[in-house]
Amino acid sequence: GAVVSQHPSWVICKSGTSVKIECRSLDFQATTMFWYRQFPKQSLMLMATSNEGSKATYEQGVEKDKFLINHASLTLSTLTVTSAHPEDSSFYICSARDQRTGGLPQHFGDGTRLSIL
């Protein structure tokens, strides 16, 4: 089956640093990837849609300059949390659409737990 890999799975860093999270589709090409944020015991909230070769589309209320998204190839999208602060601590999950199946179902990575001290 289609596999989406996220790296790192867990990161702890000091306030003010920038953190990059990678999302890779391992056995399929994904023109579109999605980035979600999930707080404890809550649902997944879509942050942005990442399109290969073009600018990401951000959901209302998500700071573009805070959460930088780059989708440079058909198998890799990155999310960079810039100047991270404790309130950015959360579980970040990426998802990818498989072109071969018309984008359904959407495949999810195992998430990255970000803790900002």
Partner 1 sequence: QQQVKQSPQSLIVQKGGISIINCAYENTAFDYFPWYQQFPGKGPALLIAIRPDVSEKKEGRFTISFNKSAKQFSLHIMDSQPGDSATYFCAARSFNTGTASKLTFGTGTRLQVTL
Q: What residues line the site for partner 1 (CB under 8 A)?
A: 4, 6, 32, 34, 41-44, 46, 49, 51, 57, 93, 95, 97, 103-111, 113
To partner 1, the closest distance from the beta carbon of 16 in angstroms equals: 26
Give the integer Cα–Cα distance in Å for 116 and 89. 6
Sign of CA dihedral 15, 67, 112, 23: negative
To partner 1, the closest distance from the beta carbon of 71 in angstroms equals: 12
Q: Please identify, using beta-carbon distances, which residue of 72 and 83 lies nearer to partner 1.
A: 72
To partner 1, the closest distance from the beta carbon of 84 in angstroms equals: 20
Q: Please identify, using beta-carbon distances, which residue of 89 and 108 lies nearer to partner 1.
A: 108
Exposure string over 36-69, b if 16+ CB within 10 A, otherwise e: bbeeeeeeeeebbbbbbeeebebeeebeeeebbb
To partner 1, the closest distance from the beta carbon of 17 in angstroms equals: 23
Place of tokens 């199946």: 101
Give the integer Cα–Cα distance in Å for 91 and 37. 6
Number of Cβ within 10 Å of residue 10's Cβ equals 10
Q: Please identify, using beta-carbon distances, which residue of 86 and 104 lies nearer to partner 1.
A: 104
Q: Please identify, using beta-carbon distances, which residue of 1 and 86 lies nearer to partner 1.
A: 1
